[in-house]
């Protein structure tokens, strides 16, 4: 396939042809693109490839009303998530998940030394300096909208980088946040957040892939859903999806779905 980077696109082909080598392009292009979604998204859309992972009960619930959500899916599904983490440049979460679960969001048990950058969206800098997501060995960026002050200083003292972006409706502007990460050469992002951030990204048209794990139990309609998207008033507002992969992971079901562009 043609390199989507405008700085090099076609130059390699031209050089090969000038040297008398026959070149054909577009052969198995779809398969080639699947190997490299992050770089292609960054070149094509100016933002990284965004993959949202959610773990739910079979009735699509992700947490109890009291916030408890450990562990909905099986150890096999959680190990599968480790592989998505390992291939990502960034693991992105929202501050409410940090406050509720205190996750470390590192790659474990795979024997891989490279750790993705962790990014927390935290408009009002509520992240506690002792949060596990700030602990080494991986680096962490807290993206906020607030002015520099004692909270930012405390997070920096805890080892985090604090980046401030101009607020949009009181929160971190999602498209700009993604452009910021693209400018840092981030190709693939794994979102491991709750329904608020996951839904906001989907509603804004900023999700390329949903990786959904369903466990064989039900949590009931009072438990929290998967994606908060406000109130839809017509079926036209639904987000159409294509299911690109459906399989079992241990006792759970895994569905990979891609929003139709």
Ligand X SMILES: NC(=O)c1ccc[n+]([C@@H]2O[C@H](COP(=O)([O-])OP(=O)(O)OC[C@H]3O[C@@H](n4cnc5c(N)ncnc54)[C@H](OP(=O)(O)O)[C@@H]3O)[C@@H](O)[C@H]2O)c1
Contact positions vs ligand X (CB under 6 A): 54-55, 62-63, 67, 69, 72, 93-97, 100-101, 121-124, 126, 171-172, 174, 192-197, 200
If one counts every other C-beta atom within 10 angstroms of the C-beta of residue 180, the result is 18
Torsion, Cα 149 152 157 161, to 10 degrees, reads -140
Q: Which is nearer to ligand X, 81 or 117 (CB)?
A: 81
Q: Which is nearer to ligand X, 33 or 64 (CB)?
A: 64
Task: Give least dist CB 145 to ligand X, A.
Answer: 8
Task: Give least dist CB 24 to ligand X, A.
Answer: 43
Any idea what DSSP says for residue 154? H
Residue nearest to ligand X (CB): 194
Q: Is 62 left (phi over 0), alpha (psi -120 to 50) or beta?
A: alpha
Task: Give least dist CB 9 to ligand X, A.
Answer: 33
Q: Which is nearer to ligand X, 102 or 245 (CB)?
A: 102
Task: Give least dist CB 70 to ligand X, A.
Answer: 7
Cα(100)–Cα(198) distance, rounded to whole angstroms?
A: 16
Q: Which residues pair with 252 in a beta bridge?
A: 249
The answer to whether 136 and 159 have CB atoms below 8 angstroms apart is yes
Q: Which is nearer to ligand X, 1 or 76 (CB)?
A: 76
Cα(143)–Cα(149) distance, rounded to whole angstroms?
A: 14
Q: Which is nearer to ligand X, 40 or 172 (CB)?
A: 172
Task: Give least dist CB 229 to ligand X, A.
Answer: 11
């Amino acid at each position: 396939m043609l390199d989507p980077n405008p700085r090099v696109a076609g130059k390699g082909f031209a050089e090969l042809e000038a040297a008398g080598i026959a070149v054909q392009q577009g052969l198995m292009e779809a398969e080639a693109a699947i190997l490299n979604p992050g770089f292609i998204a960054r070149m094509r859309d100016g933002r990284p490839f965004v993959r949202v992972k959610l773990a739910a009960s079979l009735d699509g619930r992700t947490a109890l009303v009291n916030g408890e959500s450990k562990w909905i899916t099986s150890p096999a599904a959680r190990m599968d998530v480790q592989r998505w983490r390992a291939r990502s440049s960034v693991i992105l979460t929202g501050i409410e998940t940090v406050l509720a679960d205190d996750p470390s969001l590192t790659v474990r048990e795979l024997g891989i030394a490279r750790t993705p950058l962790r990014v927390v969206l935290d408009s009002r800098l509520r992240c506690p300096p002792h949060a596990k997501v700030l602990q080494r060995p991986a680096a962490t960026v807290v993206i906020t909208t607030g002015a520099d002050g004692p909270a930012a200083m405390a997070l920096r003292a805890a080892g985090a980088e604090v980046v401030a972006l101009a607020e949009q409706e009181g929160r971190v502007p999602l498209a700009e946040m993604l452009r910021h990460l693209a400018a840092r050469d981030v190709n693939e992002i794994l979102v491991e957040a709750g329904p608020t951030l996951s839904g906001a990204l989907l509603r804004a048209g900023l999700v390329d892939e949903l990786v959904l794990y369903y466990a064989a139990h039900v949590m009931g309609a009072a438990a929290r859903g998967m994606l908060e998207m406000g109130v839809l008033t017509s079926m036209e507002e639904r987000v159409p999806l294509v299911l690109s992969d459906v399989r079992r992971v241990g006792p759970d079901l895994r569905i990979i779905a891609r929003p139709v562009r």
